[in-house]
């Protein structure tokens, strides 16, 4: 992993729990503690998708949440990157084929980066966010 970010601004992340069991959230909280200190790279969580560069999404998407997930995706300004954090968001995981699921996250919104694990470790989450920085750099070069 590169240790010096080449983006010339900070990266703001909105965390969206679409229906996870909350253990992925515990690992996300661990990843933003001073032990890992992502703010040294300008990475921090924000409280609104309207302020975010990145959507960090956990859990599969239940049918009752599908419209909300779409709305939050549309509220996030472009260019943006979507990260799927955890096995449930990738495939449905332990909720696979449940009657109440609309599907994994990429059945509802496009996903750019996948972080494997149930739950992923904090290092894997930070690595996924780093991949999002690389994707944003590519998107910004295309726009420029
Ligand atoms: S991937 Fe595992 S830890 Fe994360 S929400 Fe699903 S069951 Fe929970």
Ligand 1 binding pocket mutation candidate from 16, 22, 24 (most atoms within 8 A of CB) = 24
Cα 93 to middle of ligand 1, angstroms: 7
**Which pTM value belongs to this model?**
0.91
- Adjacent-strand bridge partners of 47: none
| Mean pLDDT by groups of 10 residues along the chain of 144 residues | 60 94 96 92 93 96 96 96 96 91 95 96 93 86 77
H or E element that contains 14: strand 11-17
Q: Which ligand 1 atom is nearest residue 24's CA?
A: 4
Torsion of CA 116, 119, 124, 130, to 10 degrees: 80
Beta strands in 31-117 (DSSP E): 43-45, 54-58, 61-62, 81-85, 101-103, 113-115
pLDDT of residue 122: 96
**What does DSSP assign to residue 121?**
P
* Ligand 1 centroid distance, CA of 64 (Å): 19
The candidate with the shortest Cα–Cα distance to 58, out of 69, 47, 42, is 69
How much distance in Å is there from the Cα of 144 to the middle of ligand 1?
A: 38
The dihedral sign for the CA sequence 60, 65, 70, 73: negative
90 phi and psi, to 5 degrees?
Answer: -75, -40
Cα–Cα distances in angstroms (integers) from residue 136 to residues 36, 67, 110, 115, 124, in the given order: 22, 25, 15, 17, 18
Tokens coding 53: 């560069």
What confidence score (pLDDT) does residue 10 get? 83
């Amino acid at each position: 992993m590169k240790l010096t970010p080449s983006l010339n601004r900070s990266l703001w992340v909105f965390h969206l729990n679409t229906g996870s069991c909350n253990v992925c959230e515990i690992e996300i909280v661990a990843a933003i503690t001073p032990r890992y200190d992502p703010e040294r790279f300008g990475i921090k969580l924000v409280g609104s998708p309207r302020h975010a560069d990145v959507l960090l999404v956990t859990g599969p998407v239940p049918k009752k949440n599908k419209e909300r997930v779409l709305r939050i995706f549309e509220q996030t300004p472009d260019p943006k990157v979507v990260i799927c954090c955890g096995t449930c968001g990738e495939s449905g995981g332990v909720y696979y084929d449940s009657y109440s699921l609309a599907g994994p996250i990429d059945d509802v919104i496009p996903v750019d980066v996948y972080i494997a694990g149930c739950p992923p470790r904090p290092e894997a989450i930070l690595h996924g966010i780093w991949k999002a920085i690389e994707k944003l750099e590519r998107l910004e070069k295309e726009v420029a």
